[in-house]
Amino acid sequence: MKIFIDDYLAPRRFDPLPLTALAVSFVLLYVVSVVLRYYSTILFQKVALKIVQQMRIDVFGKVQHLALRFFDRTPGGSLVSRITNDTEAIKDLFVNVLSTFLQSIVFMVGIFIGMFVLDVKIAAFCFLITPLIIAQMAVYRHFSAKVYRTTRQKLSQLNAKLNECLQGMNIIQAMRQEKRLRREFGTINQEHYLAERGAIRLNSLLLRQAVYSVYLLALIIVLAIFGVRSIGGVIEIGTLYAFVNYLDRFFEPINSMMVQLTRFQQAIVSAERVFGLLDEDDMAPQKIGHDHPEIREGLIEFHDVSFSYDGKTDVLKHISFVARPGETVALVGHTGSGKSSIVNLLMRFYPVERGRITIDGVPLERFDDKELRKKIGLVLQDPFLFVGDIKSNIRLNNEEISDEEVRRAAEFVQADAFIQKLPKQYDEPIGERGATLSSGERQLLSFARTMALQPKILVLDEATASVDTETEEAIQQALKKMRKGRTTIAIAHRLSTIRDADQILVLHKGEIVERGTHEELIAKKGLYHKMYTLQQGESDALREGEEESAPAGR
């Protein structure tokens, strides 16, 4: 354009050949810029998506290997926010921010080269404007960091509250907590809104408006310099036009970068949260040693084990007992006595820091995770089912378990009866957490899942609590068969279910206060006797109430 104005338009020279060459050159340069911009956008998107894809896999994989105590103190919704929202913000960093910054910097370098070719002194002056722009960016980053950190935290709290409400919707509706939770959610949402509004105010003041002020100042000075020069001589209109055009184009990428600073700051805050999770060192207990021992008999020994979740208050104190192969050891006690903590340590969910636990004489920490999970079968009071079908929930993606073994396991625990009544039987779809099944049916599937593995050790956490009396009797018969040749650790709240246990450990405030068989503990007239008498009294009262409420002619 400078050449056209100064060499052809001003002197009124209109030679067709050079003018055509200029026009064709202009069009070709524009076409090349469009093609390059297209491919640069595609490549940046491809790189960004691959990076974020791998990052999400890394974060998800890291979360699966964190210690359970990490989840004890971290809300699930907060983790969801980090894995989804925060990684999405990081994707924006690669897709929009870095691409814009790189393109803008290259563009600005080209503009500076063009300016220096036209006029070194004026170009040098324009170059002095750059520190002002950098200072503006630094000021913006300083003030926006706190604002966007607050915004991300409030978004994380929103997700945590939402996750909590969805998980407990039946309790919310049953206890009429809708208004309270709506109010709490609204409070967090208002705090998020205020944080976002603060970010908007900051953007309005320190981004485009501030840059435009610097642009106007530079434009005034450049025009003034050309005006002063025109007094003492002739200036080329094409050069003036080119400089003004270059100045305008110089601030165009700066505006683009300043606008992207918003996303950049969000991405930096999000990256802090994501990489903070990736750098988390509170990992699940790992095996120690290079050997690979196997669980063959199932002899369990606790040697003077003490344990604390918070490092201050011991929930287990000097626990010692032996569970021999084929024996059933029952753990009883009031809520908070330490029964579940013993199971958590045996399953190596938490590290054994004081004392020692051995299986077949081998310290627990020397076993591979695969060996422990394969040889120790866990049945919880509240079974967890995955989205899929009946068969996949029993097999749990273990290709070593055939369809026939799945069916035999279900028949063994009396689950086959209700499965056969389903429309698709073993291929019947299961929704989230098995919501379409009754609590008893979910428990039966968890039994079948355990039996399919044929473990050496059984760990039962009041495994019959969610089934009716008739089903419980059937499961008790199945349990007797399951316990043969296997070591069984059973947490029991209903003492009638563990009367035939080989050893009963009575826990109180983290200590074993009594031990022995059912008959021996009843004879001692101690804590177990009181608990058993109380439960029997409640059962008798319940039966009497049922008899009184029965019809007279019955």
Delimit the domains of the chain by residue range: 1-40, 63-278, 300-549
Q: Say if residue 151's pLDDT is above 50.
A: yes
Pairing of strands 457-461, 511-516: unpaired
Report the distance separating Cα 188 and Cα 195, nearest Å.
11
pLDDT per residue over 479-513, tens digit each? 777 777 789 998 887 777 788 888 999 999 899 99
Over residues 207-225, the mean pLDDT reads 76
pLDDT at 45: 81
Identity of the residue numbered 250:
F
Q: Say if residue 216's pLDDT is above 60.
A: yes
Contact present, 89 and 270 (Cβ < 8 Å)? yes
Long-range contacts of 495-500 (CB under 8 A, 24+ apart): 495/332, 495/528, 495/531, 495/532, 495/535, 496/535, 496/539, 497/464, 497/472, 498/328, 498/330, 498/332, 500/328
The answer to whether the pTM exceeds 0.85 is no
CATH of 300-549, one of 3.40.50.2300, 2.40.30.10, 3.90.380.10, 3.40.50.300: 3.40.50.300
Over residues 184-213, the mean pLDDT reads 81
- Note the residue count of the chain: 554
pLDDT winner (highest mean) among 8-12, 44-48, 356-360: 356-360
Geometric angle at alpha carbon 183, from 177 and 189, rounded to 5°: 135
Contact present, 419 and 410 (Cβ < 8 Å)? yes
The count of other CB atoms within 10 Å of the CB of residue 75 is 16
Of 382, 366, 358, 340, residue with least CA distance to 457 = 358
Report the DSSP beta bridge partners of residue 378: 459
Q: Mean pLDDT over all residues of the chain?
A: 81
CATH of 63-278, one of 2.40.40.20, 1.20.1560.10, 3.20.20.70, 1.10.3720.10: 1.20.1560.10
pLDDT at 544: 47
DSSP letters along 493-544, please?
SSGGGGTT-SEEEEEETTEEEEEE-HHHHHHHTSHHHHHHHHHHHHHHHHHH
Pairing of strands 457-461, 314-323: unpaired
Q: Say if residue 31's pLDDT is above 90.
A: yes
Q: Tokens standing for 13?
A: 């020279």
pLDDT at 546: 46
Least confident stretch, 6-20, 263-277, 431-445, 470-484: 470-484
pLDDT at 475: 67
pLDDT at 541: 45
Q: How far apart are the first and last CA of the chain?
A: 107
218 vs 23, residue with greater confidence: 23
Report the distance separating Cα 427 and Cα 406, nearest Å.
12
Contact present, 352 and 365 (Cβ < 8 Å)? yes
